[in-house]
Structure 1
Amino acid sequence: MEFHAIRLCVTNFKDCLRFYRDTIEFEGWHDDEQQYAYFEKANIALFSQKKMAEALLKEYQLDETTSQMKFVIQLEVPDVDMYYNNLKNKRVEFINTPHNRKDWGSRVAHFYDPEKNIIEIYKAK
């Protein structure tokens, strides 16, 4: 498992994109429709807080505290299902089971740390 990025879940994607891209001068790419940006060298991603919460809440009926999230830690793994099973055996509390996100181009699963911070394990497809 390797650290990939911290995904900041932002309420104003355009302003944050301008800040990190133009003011801080991080280089990367963005998708206005998905409201997602990734700055490779900084290992920071921006994602609409609303879109992230909708993706999880719509499919998994999470509690309302999830919509208040500010960040998601991303961990890249070679096999999401294998890591899911290993962590599940260690009694990790998962938000969802491994699933493909075509709109994100990856297979993912999400779980909580002891403070209810969200961690994503993913493998790009």
Structure 2
Amino acid sequence: MTSFDNPYTTKMKFDNIRLLVNDFDRSYSFYSETLGLKATWGKPGENYASFDVRSSSGLALFRAELMNVAISTQEQTRTETLQDKMAIVIEVDDVDDTYAKLKSKGVLFLNEPKDMQVWGIRVIHLRDPENNLIELFSGLKGV
């Protein structure tokens, strides 16, 4: 019996992750103009917007301490309030090209593009205007 066949659970279908933001227009501009995601609903000045992220795997769990290593914060004293609770992970065609383009738009990064051999990806990390952690990645060539 799979978990979907369990008569004691409610069948669910994942729809989205909703970021609760304080500055809607600034966040909208970041995701639409800076990152270049296509808005599928909403516009500046409204209260809700969604963006096309072309994902078949919209929700993932990951050990927080491993993300701390990836963004080089493992030496800092972490508390419940300082610990990142989520990361928005977006695949891009070429991390280095994306890094250069976003840097020219004034985006500040937490790290330089780097290979994460054990993950099989090349990554960079940044934060959105609401301080949410974002990971941009592309697959390592030859892996």
TM-score by length of 2: 0.52
Using the alignment, how far apart are the partners of 1:55 and 1:48 within structure 2?
11
Counterpart CA distance in 2 for 1:111 and 1:63 is 20
**Cross-structure match for 1:29:** none
* Alignment root-mean-square deviation, CA: 3.1
Q: Bigger relative contact order, structure 1 or 2, given CA contacts below 8 A and separation 6+?
A: 1
Aligned identity (percent) is: 39
Match of 1:115?
Answer: 130
CA spacing shift, 1:114–1:58, aligned 2, 3 Å: closer
SS at match of 2:60: strand
1:94 and 2:116 matched = no
Q: Which residue of 1 aligns with 2:46?
A: none
Q: 1:79 aligns with which of 83, 94, 99?
A: 94
1:85/1:42 Cα in 2 relative to 1: closer, same or farther (>3 Å)? closer
Structure whose CA Rg is larger: 2
In 1, Cα distance between the equivalents of 2:76 and 2:111?
10
Return the letter of the residue paired with 1:68: Q
Q: Map 1:1-125 to 2 at 5 A.
A: 41-57=56-72, 68-125=83-140
Structure with more strand by fraction:
1
Query: Following superposition, which runs of at least 4 residues in structure 1 exceed 3 angstroms of deviation?
Result: 22-26, 61-67
Q: Which SS does the other structure have where 2:99 is aligned? A: helix
Deviation at 1:114, TM superposition (A): 1.1
Q: 1:42 to 1:63 in 2, by over 3 A?
A: same
Q: Gaps spanning 5+ residues in structure 1: where?
A: 1-21, 27-39
Between the aligned partners of 2:89 and 2:128, the Cα distance in structure 1 is 13
Q: Tell me: CA distance 1:79–1:24, structure 2 relative to 1, closer, same or farther (3 Å).
A: farther
User: What's the CA shift string for 1:11-63, capped at 9, x where partnerless?
Assistant: xxxxxxxxxxx97889xxxxxxxxxxxxx84421110112211332268x778
Cα separation, 2, equivalents of 1:67 and 1:53: 11
Indicate if the aligned counterparts of 1:62 and 1:95 stay in contact, CA closer than 8 A.
no
Gaps of 5+ in 2: 1-5, 13-54
